[in-house]
Amino acid sequence: MQLKQHYQDILPILRLMARSHGYALALHGSGQRDLDLVAVPWTEEAKSAEALVEALAFCIHAQAEQPPTEKPHGRRTWVIQLGGGLYLDLSVLPRQPVAE
């Protein structure tokens, strides 16, 4: 997969921020038109989807469009504008309640 250079540059930063919020971040798509990412809650302490999106946008000096779009299986998507026609299409899977 050949990602646009800017997407290659920001992906490691995004993955670190996602991990610090309890999520795994996976690539989905070609990375040519936009950067399609899927965030999967990975730890019991995973933060809210809103907190994750805010942190990801902040760490790359970008702005997330609100509100998110509702998708099947509880998935929500946000568009994060990077400028210059570049953007992230971020899907966040829902957290599940912790079993007691």
Mean pLDDT by runs of 10 across the 100 residues of the chain is 79 98 92 89 96 97 94 97 92 87
HSE toward the beta carbon, residue 99, CA cutoff 13 A:
0
CA dihedral 47, 51, 54, 59 (to 10 degrees): -40
Q: Comparing C-alpha atoms, which of 82, 80, 83, 61 is closest to residue 69? A: 80
Measured over the CA atoms of residue 94, residue 78, residue 91 and residue 68, the dihedral's sign is: positive
Please tell me the predicted confidence (pLDDT) of residue 3: 67
Question: In the chain, what are the domains?
Answer: 5-92 (3.30.460.10)
Task: For residue 36, give every residue at least 6 positions away whose Cβ sits within 8 Å of its Cβ, in sequence order, or none.
Answer: 27, 28, 29, 88, 89, 91
Please tell me the predicted confidence (pLDDT) of residue 2: 58
